[in-house]
Amino acid sequence: MREVIRARGHEHVRAEHASTFEVTTDDWLTPAGDCIIGVEADRTPADFDPSFVEACQSHDATIDVRVRVDADGDTYEQAVRARGHPDLSFEGDRSVVFRTSDYVDDRTGAVGAAHAAAGFDRDLVSALADGAELTVTIEVE
């Protein structure tokens, strides 16, 4: 099962956070938001299909998050493997957060991520800082 979120970068994208990465529906970003990789997201966890949510609510669920950035004819892609958790509610209506830890709140899209914002390719991050388009594809097995 799959969910797709479209967003865009922002001049303040730094992707330096060590334990999370996030995509938000907000249209702004301050320099302090070092986990946010995209703004103006077209969807949030609250929009996800109930069957997708149910599939993610298992410790055995594998969640693959693919980030694709298209910028001036160049494409950057990166995959992050994570896992599900029984407490994932997908009720967040503002943003989705992927975490390296096991912490869960209504915005959490996956836990145990292989890396956080700081682990993203720096060319991909630079493209996002220039305002490139971003597609986040979340698949659960």
pLDDT tens figures, 7-36: 999 999 999 999 999 999 999 999 999 999
Q: Is the pLDDT reported for residue 97 higher than 90?
A: yes
Residues 39 and 28: their CA atoms lie apart, in Å, by 7
How many structural domains is the chain composed of? 1
Contacts of 34 (CB under 8 A, 6+ apart): 14, 15, 16, 17, 117
Residue numbers of the domain that contains 40: 2-140
Q: Is the pLDDT reported for residue 112 higher than 90?
A: yes
Q: Any idea what the CATH number is for the domain that residue 99 is in?
A: 2.60.120.630
**pLDDT, average across residues 107-115:** 98
pLDDT tens figures, 28-59: 999 999 999 999 999 999 999 999 999 999 99
Whole-prediction pTM: 0.97
